[in-house]
């Protein structure tokens, strides 16, 4: 996990994020897969961005991150919002499940990826 110094999530929220995303970010047990694909997340103020990393095609010693999903805590409402990236490379609200008070519910939705938008 990479965490910015401007993190505004509470300690409890950060622990929940860490616990919920740990299964997603655990290295694959097959070394052939884990040498080609990794998952991680970073905290940016009230948002958590889940990403995949792969070796660069032309410079395999360098890893490139690709954002998968963005979770943003809306303090005023006490809910987490879920965002996905479209072809325009901008974050858009994830229509099937745009928000939930339960962070783990949104993580489960990303893992299941019923629309095929997250794990391309």
78-119 pLDDT per residue, tens? 999 999 999 899 999 999 999 999 999 999 999 999 999 998
pTM, two decimals, is: 0.88
Radius of gyration of the chain (CA): 15
Query: Does 43 reside within a domain?
Result: yes
Site of tokens 């961005």: 49
What number of other Cβ atoms are within 10 A of residue 110's Cβ? 21
- Is residue 47 scored above 70 in pLDDT? yes
Q: CA 63, CA 37: separation in Å to the nearest integer?
A: 9
Q: CA 102, CA 106: separation in Å to the nearest integer?
A: 7
Query: Does 79 reside within a domain?
Result: yes
Q: How far apart are the first and last CA of the chain?
A: 22
Query: Does 12 reside within a domain?
Result: yes
Q: CA 73, CA 8: separation in Å to the nearest integer?
A: 10
Query: Does 73 reside within a domain?
Result: yes
- Report the domain count for the chain: 1
Query: Does 118 reside within a domain?
Result: no
- Is residue 55 scored above 90 in pLDDT? yes
Query: Does 99 reside within a domain?
Result: yes
| Cβ-contact 25, 40 below 8 angstroms | yes
Query: Does 119 reside within a domain?
Result: no
Structural domain span for residue 29: 2-112
Query: Does 98 reside within a domain?
Result: yes
């Amino acid at each position: 996990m990479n965490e910015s110094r401007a993190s505004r999530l509470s300690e409890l929220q950060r622990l929940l994020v860490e616990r919920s995303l740990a299964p997603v970010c655990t290295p694959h047990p097959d070394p052939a897969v884990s040498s080609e694909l990794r998952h991680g997340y970073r905290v940016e103020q009230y948002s958590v961005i889940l990403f995949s990393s792969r070796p660069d095609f032309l410079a395999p010693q360098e890893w490139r991150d690709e954002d998968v999903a963005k979770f943003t805590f809306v303090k005023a409402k006490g809910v987490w919002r879920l965002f996905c990236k479209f072809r325009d490379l901008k974050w858009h609200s994830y229509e099937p499940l745009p928000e939930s008070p339960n962070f783990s519910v949104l993580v489960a939705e990303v893992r299941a990826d019923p629309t095929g938008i997250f794990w391309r």
